[in-house]
Amino acid sequence: MNDLHTAARQCLDAADPAEKVRLSFQTWAALQAGELAPDPSSPPARPIALPGRPERPRLVPSREVAQRGLGTAEGRAALVHAIAHIEFNAIDLAWDAVYRFRGKPLAYYRDWASCANDEARHFTMLSSRLAELGHVYGDFDAHNGLWEMAEKTAHSDTARMALVPRVLEARGLDVTPGMMERLRRQGDERTVAILEVILREEVAHVAAGTRWFHWCCERDGIEPEATFARLLSDYMNGSLRGPFNLDARRAAGFSESELAWLGTLG
């Protein structure tokens, strides 16, 4: 097999987390080695559906996910689990971007395959930390908000690039520093060290979203900043609230005018 789209589909379909991680690493390595490439004759993408998932965690509405304080080992494990769930979803989000949207430059596919590889590594790091805390992935309930947005944007590469990396993943840039500070106060430097790696690498992922969102806008002859604001209104009722990590968002390609506009959202 040398078709990247087919390989991405295999990563999406893998239900066992360890197998999804293994295939993600393998696919990225094969792409780097020149053994895979997007094949124009690949069968069209199937309608979006849930990717391969383990039976647990149980998926519940976000308001039903229990909130636990970080003052206990159980509370810290629940936080690590929540972040691991985000990273597990992010593997699938990156591979769906490779699988679903065809006819892009090779650099697009390399960017998102690289992101999938990073997310798989992040999930592995968090799973190991979870084990140190006496838990495994699946022990706590989780929600499906990230993949729900993938479903809503499956018809539009422009909307996908705007709303998944530049909104949902960018929230990680905003909230991770605060999480790290609270964990430091609890003396949990091991988790902090993992979050430092994730925060640094997620800047590049959001930057990839910015880069390809602008590419889509230029292709379609539309203005990026007005389009971003419109998509945020159409899909999320403008519901994006600060505080925002301005330095990280700036490094991820947000313009000064966009940052100023975000500041008006509350």
Residue 153 lies in a domain: yes
The domain of 84 spans 72-263
pTM here? 0.96
The answer for residues whose C-beta is within 8 angstroms of residue 227's C-beta and 6 or more apart is 158, 162, 217
Residue 215 lies in a domain: yes
Which residues sit opposite 142 in a β-bridge?
Answer: 59
Residue 230 lies in a domain: yes
At residue 200, the pLDDT reads 96
Number of folded domains that form the chain: 1
Residue 91 lies in a domain: yes
At residue 227, the pLDDT reads 97
Q: Cis omega (within 30 of 0) on the bond before 105?
A: no
Residue 232 lies in a domain: yes
Residue 59 lies in a domain: no
At residue 61, the pLDDT reads 85
At residue 1, the pLDDT reads 60
Block mean pLDDT (10 aa), the chain, length 266: 94 98 98 96 95 94 78 91 96 98 97 98 98 96 92 98 96 95 95 97 98 98 96 87 93 96 83
Residue 163 lies in a domain: yes
At residue 73, the pLDDT reads 87
The CATH code of the domain that includes 258 is 1.20.1260.10
Residue 164 lies in a domain: yes
The answer for residues whose C-beta is within 8 angstroms of residue 14's C-beta and 6 or more apart is 20, 23, 52
